[in-house]
Amino acid sequence: MDSIHIHGGVCLQGKVRIQGSKNAALPVLAATILTKGINLIHNCPKIADVYLMLELLRSLGCVVSWEEDGVRVDARNAAPNKMPVSAIKGMRSSLCLLGALLGEAGEVAMEYPGGCVIGERPIDLHLAAFRSLGAEFREENGIIYGNAGKGLMGAHIDMPRSSVGATENTVLAAVSAEGVTVLTGAAREPEVETLCKYLCRCGAQIEGIGTDRLVIVGGRRLSGTEFGVPADRIVAGTYLLACLGTGGAVLLEDAPVSHMEAVVSFACRMGAECQEAQEGLYVQAPGRLLSCDRLTTEIYPGFPTDLQSVALVVMTAAEGKCLIEETIFENRFRILEPLRRMGGKVRLIDAGKAEVEGPVFLNGTETEAWELRGGAALVTAGLMADGETIVKGCDYIDRGYENICRDLRELGARIYRV
Protein backbone atom coordinates (compact mmCIF):
# COMPACT_ATOMS: atom_id res chain seq x y z
CA MET A 1 0.00 0.00 0.00
CA ASP A 2 1.33 3.45 -0.93
CA SER A 3 2.11 5.72 1.98
CA ILE A 4 3.09 9.36 2.45
CA HIS A 5 5.98 10.05 4.83
CA ILE A 6 6.19 13.48 6.44
CA HIS A 7 8.91 14.88 8.68
CA GLY A 8 7.08 17.78 10.28
CA GLY A 9 8.03 21.00 11.96
CA VAL A 10 8.88 23.01 8.84
CA CYS A 11 7.16 26.35 8.17
CA LEU A 12 5.71 26.35 4.66
CA GLN A 13 7.32 29.08 2.54
CA GLY A 14 7.24 30.01 -1.14
CA LYS A 15 4.65 29.65 -3.88
CA VAL A 16 2.66 26.87 -5.46
CA ARG A 17 0.26 26.82 -8.39
CA ILE A 18 -3.27 25.64 -7.64
CA GLN A 19 -4.53 22.86 -9.92
CA GLY A 20 -7.80 22.81 -11.82
CA SER A 21 -10.98 22.11 -9.87
CA LYS A 22 -12.00 18.49 -9.37
CA ASN A 23 -15.62 19.31 -8.62
CA ALA A 24 -15.91 21.59 -11.65
CA ALA A 25 -14.09 19.36 -14.15
CA LEU A 26 -16.12 16.20 -13.55
CA PRO A 27 -19.62 17.51 -14.45
CA VAL A 28 -18.15 19.42 -17.42
CA LEU A 29 -16.59 16.21 -18.72
CA ALA A 30 -19.90 14.40 -18.24
CA ALA A 31 -21.64 17.17 -20.17
CA THR A 32 -19.43 16.68 -23.24
CA ILE A 33 -21.59 13.73 -24.35
CA LEU A 34 -24.45 16.19 -24.90
CA THR A 35 -22.50 18.03 -27.58
CA LYS A 36 -21.92 15.34 -30.19
CA GLY A 37 -18.80 17.31 -31.03
CA ILE A 38 -15.16 17.87 -30.13
CA ASN A 39 -14.29 19.55 -26.85
CA LEU A 40 -10.98 20.76 -25.46
CA ILE A 41 -11.16 21.17 -21.70
CA HIS A 42 -8.23 23.24 -20.42
CA ASN A 43 -6.76 23.07 -16.89
CA CYS A 44 -8.30 19.67 -16.23
CA PRO A 45 -6.65 18.20 -13.13
CA LYS A 46 -4.75 14.94 -13.50
CA ILE A 47 -6.39 13.17 -10.57
CA ALA A 48 -7.87 9.72 -10.05
CA ASP A 49 -11.50 10.86 -10.34
CA VAL A 50 -10.85 12.51 -13.70
CA TYR A 51 -9.17 9.36 -15.01
CA LEU A 52 -12.22 7.36 -13.92
CA MET A 53 -14.56 9.80 -15.68
CA LEU A 54 -12.51 9.55 -18.87
CA GLU A 55 -12.72 5.76 -18.62
CA LEU A 56 -16.51 6.05 -18.43
CA LEU A 57 -16.61 8.40 -21.43
CA ARG A 58 -14.52 5.95 -23.47
CA SER A 59 -16.92 3.14 -22.56
CA LEU A 60 -19.73 5.30 -23.99
CA GLY A 61 -17.98 5.68 -27.34
CA CYS A 62 -16.10 8.95 -26.82
CA VAL A 63 -12.57 9.32 -28.11
CA VAL A 64 -10.54 10.84 -25.29
CA SER A 65 -6.92 11.98 -25.20
CA TRP A 66 -4.70 14.17 -23.06
CA GLU A 67 -3.28 17.09 -25.01
CA GLU A 68 -0.53 19.46 -23.92
CA ASP A 69 -3.08 22.08 -22.94
CA GLY A 70 -5.99 19.95 -21.75
CA VAL A 71 -8.26 16.97 -22.37
CA ARG A 72 -9.72 16.40 -25.82
CA VAL A 73 -13.11 14.67 -25.89
CA ASP A 74 -14.68 13.69 -29.21
CA ALA A 75 -18.28 12.78 -28.32
CA ARG A 76 -19.66 12.44 -31.85
CA ASN A 77 -20.18 8.70 -31.46
CA ALA A 78 -21.30 8.69 -27.82
CA ALA A 79 -24.12 6.25 -27.06
CA PRO A 80 -25.53 4.32 -24.08
CA ASN A 81 -23.42 1.30 -23.26
CA LYS A 82 -22.34 -0.88 -20.37
CA MET A 83 -20.05 1.24 -18.20
CA PRO A 84 -17.25 -0.30 -16.08
CA VAL A 85 -18.48 -0.94 -12.56
CA SER A 86 -15.09 -0.13 -11.05
CA ALA A 87 -15.19 3.41 -12.45
CA ILE A 88 -18.77 4.01 -11.32
CA LYS A 89 -18.15 2.61 -7.85
CA GLY A 90 -14.94 4.62 -7.57
CA MET A 91 -16.55 8.06 -7.49
CA ARG A 92 -19.91 9.62 -6.79
CA SER A 93 -19.52 12.13 -9.62
CA SER A 94 -20.28 9.32 -12.07
CA LEU A 95 -23.86 10.19 -11.10
CA CYS A 96 -23.60 13.22 -13.45
CA LEU A 97 -23.85 10.79 -16.33
CA LEU A 98 -27.44 9.98 -15.34
CA GLY A 99 -28.67 13.41 -16.38
CA ALA A 100 -26.40 13.63 -19.43
CA LEU A 101 -27.39 10.20 -20.79
CA LEU A 102 -31.08 10.77 -20.10
CA GLY A 103 -30.86 14.02 -22.03
CA GLU A 104 -28.80 12.65 -24.89
CA ALA A 105 -30.09 9.10 -25.32
CA GLY A 106 -33.33 9.00 -23.34
CA GLU A 107 -32.20 6.00 -21.32
CA VAL A 108 -29.57 4.97 -18.83
CA ALA A 109 -28.54 1.99 -16.72
CA MET A 110 -25.77 2.21 -14.14
CA GLU A 111 -24.71 0.81 -10.80
CA TYR A 112 -25.25 2.89 -7.70
CA PRO A 113 -22.31 5.32 -7.62
CA GLY A 114 -19.53 5.20 -5.04
CA GLY A 115 -17.01 7.67 -3.64
CA CYS A 116 -15.89 8.60 -0.13
CA VAL A 117 -17.53 7.21 2.98
CA ILE A 118 -18.55 10.51 4.60
CA GLY A 119 -22.16 9.80 5.41
CA GLU A 120 -25.47 9.08 3.76
CA ARG A 121 -25.78 10.78 0.39
CA PRO A 122 -29.10 9.64 -1.09
CA ILE A 123 -30.05 10.35 -4.69
CA ASP A 124 -33.72 11.03 -4.02
CA LEU A 125 -33.45 14.67 -5.19
CA HIS A 126 -31.87 13.57 -8.47
CA LEU A 127 -34.58 11.02 -9.24
CA ALA A 128 -37.40 13.35 -8.19
CA ALA A 129 -36.13 16.04 -10.59
CA PHE A 130 -35.80 13.54 -13.43
CA ARG A 131 -39.33 12.31 -12.83
CA SER A 132 -40.58 15.92 -12.99
CA LEU A 133 -38.99 16.12 -16.44
CA GLY A 134 -40.84 12.96 -17.53
CA ALA A 135 -38.38 10.16 -16.83
CA GLU A 136 -39.22 6.89 -15.12
CA PHE A 137 -36.83 5.01 -12.83
CA ARG A 138 -36.54 1.65 -11.17
CA GLU A 139 -33.80 0.00 -9.14
CA GLU A 140 -32.96 -3.69 -9.34
CA ASN A 141 -30.02 -5.42 -7.67
CA GLY A 142 -28.15 -2.16 -7.13
CA ILE A 143 -28.63 -0.99 -10.73
CA ILE A 144 -30.54 2.19 -11.61
CA TYR A 145 -32.59 2.02 -14.80
CA GLY A 146 -33.93 5.24 -16.28
CA ASN A 147 -36.07 5.86 -19.35
CA ALA A 148 -37.32 9.14 -20.77
CA GLY A 149 -40.04 7.50 -22.86
CA LYS A 150 -41.02 9.89 -25.67
CA GLY A 151 -38.59 12.51 -24.43
CA LEU A 152 -37.98 14.88 -21.55
CA MET A 153 -40.21 17.93 -21.13
CA GLY A 154 -39.46 21.17 -19.32
CA ALA A 155 -40.97 21.58 -15.87
CA HIS A 156 -41.03 23.72 -12.73
CA ILE A 157 -38.84 22.02 -10.15
CA ASP A 158 -38.38 23.22 -6.58
CA MET A 159 -35.45 21.62 -4.75
CA PRO A 160 -36.50 21.03 -1.13
CA ARG A 161 -32.86 21.34 -0.01
CA SER A 162 -29.67 22.54 -1.62
CA SER A 163 -27.75 19.83 -3.49
CA VAL A 164 -24.87 20.48 -5.86
CA GLY A 165 -25.10 17.08 -7.53
CA ALA A 166 -28.88 17.18 -7.97
CA THR A 167 -28.71 20.71 -9.38
CA GLU A 168 -26.03 19.71 -11.88
CA ASN A 169 -27.90 16.59 -12.91
CA THR A 170 -31.14 18.52 -13.39
CA VAL A 171 -29.37 21.11 -15.56
CA LEU A 172 -27.76 18.36 -17.67
CA ALA A 173 -31.13 16.76 -18.34
CA ALA A 174 -33.05 20.03 -18.75
CA VAL A 175 -30.82 21.42 -21.55
CA SER A 176 -32.02 18.50 -23.69
CA ALA A 177 -35.67 18.67 -22.63
CA GLU A 178 -38.27 20.31 -24.83
CA GLY A 179 -39.50 23.59 -23.42
CA VAL A 180 -38.47 25.64 -20.41
CA THR A 181 -37.36 24.30 -17.04
CA VAL A 182 -37.46 26.59 -14.01
CA LEU A 183 -35.32 25.26 -11.17
CA THR A 184 -35.71 26.97 -7.81
CA GLY A 185 -33.68 26.13 -4.74
CA ALA A 186 -30.70 25.45 -6.97
CA ALA A 187 -27.25 25.13 -5.41
CA ARG A 188 -25.13 28.26 -5.89
CA GLU A 189 -21.70 26.65 -5.67
CA PRO A 190 -19.07 27.85 -8.16
CA GLU A 191 -18.97 24.37 -9.68
CA VAL A 192 -22.64 24.67 -10.71
CA GLU A 193 -21.85 28.06 -12.21
CA THR A 194 -18.94 26.56 -14.16
CA LEU A 195 -21.13 23.80 -15.61
CA CYS A 196 -23.77 26.31 -16.70
CA LYS A 197 -21.15 28.55 -18.32
CA TYR A 198 -19.71 25.59 -20.21
CA LEU A 199 -23.14 24.56 -21.49
CA CYS A 200 -23.88 28.13 -22.59
CA ARG A 201 -20.56 28.19 -24.43
CA CYS A 202 -21.81 25.08 -26.26
CA GLY A 203 -25.07 26.81 -27.22
CA ALA A 204 -27.41 26.25 -24.29
CA GLN A 205 -29.59 29.03 -22.90
CA ILE A 206 -29.50 29.29 -19.10
CA GLU A 207 -30.54 32.33 -17.12
CA GLY A 208 -29.88 33.09 -13.47
CA ILE A 209 -26.40 31.55 -13.37
CA GLY A 210 -24.91 31.99 -9.90
CA THR A 211 -28.32 32.32 -8.22
CA ASP A 212 -30.70 29.80 -6.67
CA ARG A 213 -33.17 30.17 -9.55
CA LEU A 214 -32.14 28.80 -12.93
CA VAL A 215 -34.22 29.07 -16.10
CA ILE A 216 -33.14 26.58 -18.76
CA VAL A 217 -34.48 26.79 -22.30
CA GLY A 218 -34.10 23.24 -23.52
CA GLY A 219 -33.93 21.56 -26.90
CA ARG A 220 -31.13 23.70 -28.36
CA ARG A 221 -28.40 22.05 -30.40
CA LEU A 222 -25.12 21.93 -28.51
CA SER A 223 -21.72 22.05 -30.17
CA GLY A 224 -18.27 21.16 -28.90
CA THR A 225 -16.10 24.00 -27.63
CA GLU A 226 -12.93 24.99 -25.78
CA PHE A 227 -13.36 25.71 -22.12
CA GLY A 228 -11.13 26.38 -19.13
CA VAL A 229 -11.73 24.78 -15.72
CA PRO A 230 -11.16 27.23 -12.82
CA ALA A 231 -8.66 26.55 -10.05
CA ASP A 232 -9.67 24.29 -7.19
CA ARG A 233 -10.90 26.29 -4.19
CA ILE A 234 -10.63 23.27 -1.87
CA VAL A 235 -7.01 22.55 -2.80
CA ALA A 236 -6.22 26.25 -2.34
CA GLY A 237 -7.98 26.20 1.03
CA THR A 238 -6.04 23.11 2.09
CA TYR A 239 -2.70 24.77 1.43
CA LEU A 240 -3.86 28.03 3.01
CA LEU A 241 -4.77 26.20 6.23
CA ALA A 242 -1.58 24.14 6.15
CA CYS A 243 0.34 27.42 5.99
CA LEU A 244 -1.43 28.59 9.16
CA GLY A 245 -0.81 25.32 10.94
CA THR A 246 2.93 25.39 10.25
CA GLY A 247 3.36 29.15 10.80
CA GLY A 248 4.47 29.95 7.25
CA ALA A 249 3.97 32.40 4.41
CA VAL A 250 2.90 31.27 0.95
CA LEU A 251 1.64 32.55 -2.39
CA LEU A 252 -1.17 30.42 -3.81
CA GLU A 253 -0.86 31.07 -7.53
CA ASP A 254 -4.14 31.21 -9.49
CA ALA A 255 -6.16 30.68 -6.29
CA PRO A 256 -9.88 31.45 -6.96
CA VAL A 257 -10.04 34.14 -4.29
CA SER A 258 -13.56 35.29 -5.16
CA HIS A 259 -14.84 31.80 -4.28
CA MET A 260 -12.89 31.53 -1.02
CA GLU A 261 -14.43 34.30 1.08
CA ALA A 262 -15.50 32.06 3.96
CA VAL A 263 -12.10 30.36 4.21
CA VAL A 264 -10.18 33.64 3.97
CA SER A 265 -12.45 35.17 6.61
CA PHE A 266 -11.81 32.19 8.89
CA ALA A 267 -8.04 32.56 8.44
CA CYS A 268 -8.21 36.26 9.25
CA ARG A 269 -10.20 35.52 12.41
CA MET A 270 -7.31 33.32 13.48
CA GLY A 271 -4.92 36.23 13.00
CA ALA A 272 -3.60 35.52 9.50
CA GLU A 273 -2.85 38.17 6.91
CA CYS A 274 -4.45 37.35 3.56
CA GLN A 275 -3.95 39.60 0.57
CA GLU A 276 -5.24 39.14 -2.94
CA ALA A 277 -2.60 39.75 -5.59
CA GLN A 278 -2.54 39.58 -9.37
CA GLU A 279 -0.82 36.19 -9.15
CA GLY A 280 -3.27 34.74 -6.62
CA LEU A 281 -3.54 34.82 -2.83
CA TYR A 282 -0.72 35.70 -0.41
CA VAL A 283 -1.06 34.20 3.08
CA GLN A 284 1.04 35.06 6.14
CA ALA A 285 0.47 33.07 9.32
CA PRO A 286 0.46 35.03 12.59
CA GLY A 287 3.02 34.53 15.31
CA ARG A 288 0.23 33.22 17.52
CA LEU A 289 -2.87 31.45 16.16
CA LEU A 290 -6.13 32.50 17.79
CA SER A 291 -8.99 30.06 18.11
CA CYS A 292 -12.48 30.83 16.84
CA ASP A 293 -15.31 30.19 19.28
CA ARG A 294 -17.33 28.37 16.65
CA LEU A 295 -16.95 27.08 13.09
CA THR A 296 -20.01 25.83 11.23
CA THR A 297 -19.98 24.23 7.80
CA GLU A 298 -22.64 25.56 5.45
CA ILE A 299 -23.67 25.45 1.83
CA TYR A 300 -21.88 27.98 -0.38
CA PRO A 301 -20.95 30.74 0.27
CA GLY A 302 -20.50 29.43 3.82
CA PHE A 303 -17.50 27.50 5.11
CA PRO A 304 -17.12 24.34 2.97
CA THR A 305 -17.54 20.92 4.53
CA ASP A 306 -14.61 19.71 2.41
CA LEU A 307 -12.24 21.86 4.51
CA GLN A 308 -13.69 21.12 7.92
CA SER A 309 -11.26 18.28 8.71
CA VAL A 310 -8.22 20.38 7.77
CA ALA A 311 -9.52 23.34 9.82
CA LEU A 312 -10.06 21.03 12.79
CA VAL A 313 -6.41 19.91 12.62
CA VAL A 314 -5.12 23.49 12.42
CA MET A 315 -7.26 24.46 15.42
CA THR A 316 -5.12 22.20 17.62
CA ALA A 317 -2.36 24.82 17.30
CA ALA A 318 -4.60 27.77 18.18
CA GLU A 319 -5.11 29.26 21.63
CA GLY A 320 -8.51 28.52 23.09
CA LYS A 321 -11.46 26.24 22.44
CA CYS A 322 -13.50 25.96 19.27
CA LEU A 323 -16.81 24.21 18.70
CA ILE A 324 -16.94 22.75 15.19
CA GLU A 325 -20.40 22.02 13.85
CA GLU A 326 -20.81 19.84 10.76
CA THR A 327 -24.15 20.42 9.05
CA ILE A 328 -23.56 18.82 5.63
CA PHE A 329 -22.24 15.28 6.17
CA GLU A 330 -22.67 13.29 9.35
CA ASN A 331 -19.48 11.24 9.14
CA ARG A 332 -16.80 13.93 8.86
CA PHE A 333 -15.27 13.39 12.29
CA ARG A 334 -13.33 10.18 11.61
CA ILE A 335 -10.22 12.37 11.87
CA LEU A 336 -10.69 12.69 15.65
CA GLU A 337 -9.24 9.34 16.71
CA PRO A 338 -5.94 9.58 14.79
CA LEU A 339 -5.65 13.21 15.85
CA ARG A 340 -6.02 12.19 19.51
CA ARG A 341 -3.24 9.63 19.04
CA MET A 342 -1.05 12.48 17.80
CA GLY A 343 -1.73 14.45 20.97
CA GLY A 344 -4.69 16.59 19.90
CA LYS A 345 -7.22 17.66 22.52
CA VAL A 346 -10.37 16.88 20.59
CA ARG A 347 -13.64 15.34 21.65
CA LEU A 348 -16.83 14.34 19.93
CA ILE A 349 -19.89 15.98 21.46
CA ASP A 350 -22.44 14.33 19.19
CA ALA A 351 -22.66 13.18 15.57
CA GLY A 352 -22.58 16.77 14.32
CA LYS A 353 -20.36 18.57 16.82
CA ALA A 354 -16.78 18.33 18.04
CA GLU A 355 -14.65 20.48 20.31
CA VAL A 356 -10.97 21.32 19.80
CA GLU A 357 -8.73 22.84 22.47
CA GLY A 358 -5.26 24.25 21.91
CA PRO A 359 -2.53 24.96 21.63
CA VAL A 360 -0.93 21.52 21.71
CA PHE A 361 2.11 20.05 19.99
CA LEU A 362 1.30 17.11 17.78
CA ASN A 363 3.55 14.07 17.56
CA GLY A 364 4.16 12.03 14.44
CA THR A 365 2.56 8.61 14.16
CA GLU A 366 1.39 6.05 11.61
CA THR A 367 -2.18 6.49 10.45
CA GLU A 368 -4.48 5.81 7.52
CA ALA A 369 -6.84 7.88 5.40
CA TRP A 370 -10.42 6.65 4.99
CA GLU A 371 -11.69 9.42 2.72
CA LEU A 372 -10.32 12.20 0.53
CA ARG A 373 -10.53 15.30 2.72
CA GLY A 374 -9.71 13.43 5.90
CA GLY A 375 -6.58 12.21 4.15
CA ALA A 376 -5.54 15.78 3.35
CA ALA A 377 -6.17 16.66 6.99
CA LEU A 378 -3.87 13.86 8.17
CA VAL A 379 -1.14 15.14 5.84
CA THR A 380 -1.62 18.61 7.34
CA ALA A 381 -1.33 17.14 10.84
CA GLY A 382 1.92 15.49 9.76
CA LEU A 383 3.29 18.83 8.56
CA MET A 384 2.56 20.32 11.99
CA ALA A 385 3.80 17.38 14.07
CA ASP A 386 7.18 16.66 15.64
CA GLY A 387 8.88 13.62 14.16
CA GLU A 388 7.70 11.39 11.33
CA THR A 389 4.10 10.84 10.31
CA ILE A 390 3.12 8.07 7.89
CA VAL A 391 -0.23 8.37 6.11
CA LYS A 392 -1.53 5.26 4.38
CA GLY A 393 -4.58 5.14 2.11
CA CYS A 394 -3.09 7.49 -0.49
CA ASP A 395 -5.62 6.36 -3.09
CA TYR A 396 -8.23 8.53 -1.40
CA ILE A 397 -5.99 11.61 -1.53
CA ASP A 398 -5.26 10.95 -5.22
CA ARG A 399 -8.96 11.44 -5.93
CA GLY A 400 -8.66 15.18 -5.39
CA TYR A 401 -5.00 16.23 -5.38
CA GLU A 402 -2.78 15.94 -8.45
CA ASN A 403 0.38 15.51 -6.43
CA ILE A 404 0.11 16.73 -2.86
CA CYS A 405 3.70 15.71 -2.06
CA ARG A 406 5.11 17.68 -5.01
CA ASP A 407 3.06 20.76 -4.13
CA LEU A 408 4.09 20.72 -0.49
CA ARG A 409 7.74 20.10 -1.33
CA GLU A 410 7.61 23.26 -3.45
CA LEU A 411 6.68 25.01 -0.20
CA GLY A 412 9.60 23.46 1.66
CA ALA A 413 7.90 20.51 3.33
CA ARG A 414 9.89 17.35 3.99
CA ILE A 415 7.46 14.90 2.43
CA TYR A 416 7.71 11.95 0.07
CA ARG A 417 5.72 8.96 -1.07
CA VAL A 418 6.70 5.31 -1.18
Which residues are within 8 A (CB) of 87 and not within 5 positions of it... i.e. 6 or more apart? 52, 53, 55, 56, 59, 94
Q: Of all helices (H) and strands (E), which one includes residue 145? A: strand 143-147
Measuring CA to CA, how many Å separate 388 from each of 14, 248, 411, 414? Answer: 22, 19, 18, 10
Active site residues: 116
Cβ neighbours of 219 (radius 10 Å): 18
Of 311, 379, 371, 373, whose CA–CA distance to 346 is shortest? Answer: 311
Partnered with residue 7 across adjacent β-strands are: 388, 414
**Which parts of the chain sit beneath pLDDT 70?**
1, 82-93, 113-121
**Cα–Cα distance between 8 and 354 in angstroms, integer?**
25
Work out whether strand 280-284 and strand 294-296 pair parallel, antiparallel, or are unpaired: unpaired
Rounded to 10 degrees, the C-alpha dihedral 292/297/298/302 comes to 40
Percent of the chain with pLDDT over 70: 94
Partnered with residue 147 across adjacent β-strands are: 107, 136
Partnered with residue 17 across adjacent β-strands are: 253
**Cα–Cα distance between 74 and 40 in angstroms, integer?**
9
Q: Specify whether the CB–CB gap between 338 and 378 falls below 8 A.
A: yes
Q: What is the reported pLDDT for 109?
A: 82
Of 189, 142, 135, 190, whose CA–CA distance to 157 is shortest? Answer: 135
Phi, psi at residue 279, to the nearest 5°? -80, -20
pLDDT tens digits, residue range 261-271?
Answer: 999 999 999 99
Rounded to 10 degrees, the C-alpha dihedral 5/238/331/269 comes to 130
**Cα–Cα distance between 243 and 252 in angstroms, integer?**
10
Which residues are within 8 A (CB) of 254 and not within 5 positions of it... i.e. 6 or more apart? 17, 18, 231, 279, 280
Q: What is the reported pLDDT for 85?
A: 64
- Which domains are seen in the chain, by residue range? 3-19+231-417 (3.65.10.10), 22-228 (3.65.10.10)
Q: What is the reported pLDDT for 117?
A: 40
CB-based burial of residue 142 (10 Å sphere; 0-12 exposed, 13-18 middle, 19+ buried)? exposed
**Cα–Cα distance between 275 and 89 in angstroms, integer?**
41
Q: What is the reported pLDDT for 115?
A: 44
Q: What is the reported pLDDT for 309?
A: 97
Cβ neighbours of 65 (radius 10 Å): 10
